[in-house]
Chain A
Amino acid sequence: MTHQALSLTPLPLQFSQREELVAQVLALSPDLTAMDDDPVASCVSDIVGGADEAAMALQLWPVADYGKTRNYLNGAVSGLSPYVRHGVLTPATLKQACLVQQSLDEAQKLLQQLSWRDYFHHLAQLNPADLWRDIEPYKTGFVASDYSAELPADLMRAQTPDAFINQLIEQLYTQGYLHNHARLYLASYLVHWRRVRWQAGAQWMLGHLLDGDLASNNLSWQWVASTFSSKPYIFNLDNVVKFAGQPHTFDLSPAHNPSLAASYETLQRQLFPNLGGDHV
């Protein structure tokens, strides 16, 4: 624990440029200054905090396209989750903004996504211990002890054999934000391809996401892992190509994504050899 001298002088609120504010935050973070030479630790997102920025992003959000395109990595998602997580915006505000342009029926998909958050929060309040323990056994043919508690070094460095995965990790590091579908891809890769315990991945992602919410994050990881769902969530390169949208900047060539470029049947045999049959 770091000793902090109590001061009744408030910290500065005016900075001539963002770099000065970043330096101020770094000076207030002795645990981070110890990692000064780590380029990942010094990243600052393009997403700027504040109510005005949130209001602007809300105004620019093409909410009418949300329902049809939300699963695409370039779809019309709001990107407002960092503001909601930190109480700058409320779910009710998002709902109201949606209903200005849409009927209740048309807003169903957004309301459903907001309800996932409610659901996770209700679960977490009811059973806080479930935030870090396996709610159910893995349905992968493996037991928890078969999974590593450590993150692979190549993954931490965004140097896995798969270019798409590396690009997602870099985006997580630089922006502190990922599309929900991208989070599922990354979680699935870590748990099922690399056989790492979901807890290690959840902790890692929480540290970087601007909108990191313990309940939503960890229970989603459990859903991917199959400790809170009936089967593991996996994907393949064809699925990524389908949902990457156009245009995109991802490297989706099969040669650069050897672990992902396979049919679901092949992947199931490779990833879950103990299961047999068609479980995915």
Chain B
Amino acid sequence: MSSLSSNVNLNQTPARLFWLHDEALAKPDDYRAGDKLVYLWDANYFAQQAWSLKRRVFIYECLVALKAEIYVGQPAEFWPVFLAQQAQSLGQGSEPIVYVAAALDPVLQAWLATCPSEVKLEVTSNPSHFLLPDLQPTRLKRFSHFWSAQAKALGVPAFGRSNGSSKHKRLRKHQ
């Protein structure tokens, strides 16, 4: 995040630009009133993914619920023009930062990468990707290997139940 200069009113925090995509159809955790949520509707991207109408409708409905700004275009041509138009209203100076959540899907990753290099893109972690984002597994040959480590990190028994009083807790709930 760009630092604030001493003569800027701290109560007028600059609005930020969040680039939403199909793995991040939510307000960021640190969203503030005035921030912009922008979604780029690229028909070629959808065609490449070969997604059905029902999936596209679902995505559009999510965007409507977010009151996101939906624009038609491709990243390469859209962002430079849009940022030039928005620079003053965003109050971030001449080079606004575009915040975008990380993507996992290779097609989506490639599409995001078509954003021109002159655009200041800041990739943020995506909380929807992993239950335990910090776990760095070393054994992935089979799920059982992974689950042993994940279960330990979660504090649950990998197999069966622990010797605790879970049965009693369950009975208590039904009384």
Measured CB to CB, the residues of A under 8 A from B are: 1-2, 4-11, 13-15, 21-22, 24-26, 28-32, 41-45, 47-53, 64, 82, 84-92, 95, 103-108, 111-112, 114-119, 121-126, 128, 131, 175-176, 203, 206-210, 212-215
User: Which residue from A6, A122, A208, A209 sits with its C-beta under 8 Å from B146?
Assistant: A122
Interface residues on B, range: 35 or more
For B73, the chain A residues whose CB sits under 8 A away are 4, 6-7
Binding site for A on B (CB under 8 A): 22-26, 41-44, 46-47, 49-74, 77-78, 81-82, 85, 101, 104-107, 126-132, 135, 137, 140, 143, 146-147, 150-151, 154-157, 161-162, 164, 166, 169-170, 173
Q: Residues of B contacting A210 with CB < 8 Å? A: 54-55, 58
A92 CA to B130 CA, complexed, in Å: 8
A-B contact pairs, 24 of them (CB 8 A): A5-B72, A6-B78, A10-B71, A21-B60, A24-B60, A25-B53, A29-B56, A31-B43, A32-B52, A43-B54, A49-B59, A52-B65, A64-B173, A86-B23, A87-B126, A89-B26, A105-B164, A115-B150, A118-B150, A119-B137, A124-B104, A206-B50, A208-B52, A214-B104
Most buried by A among B78, B129, B135, B151: B129
Residues of A within 8 A of B55 (CB): 176, 207-210, 212
CB distance from B86 to the nearest CB of A (A): 9
Determine the distance from Cα of A132 to Cα of B81 in the docked complex, in whole angstroms: 36
A121 to B132, CA, bound (A): 11
- Specify which chain A residues have a CB less than 8 angstroms from the CB of B135 in the assembled complex: 118
Complex CA distance for A213 and B135, rounded to whole angstroms: 21
List chain A residues, Cβ under 8 A from B47: 2, 29-31
Q: Which residues of B contact A29 (CB under 8 A)?
A: 43, 46-47, 53, 56
- Chain B nearest CB: distance from A43 CB in Å? 6
- Please determine whether B43 and A2 come into contact, CB atoms closer than 8 angstroms: yes
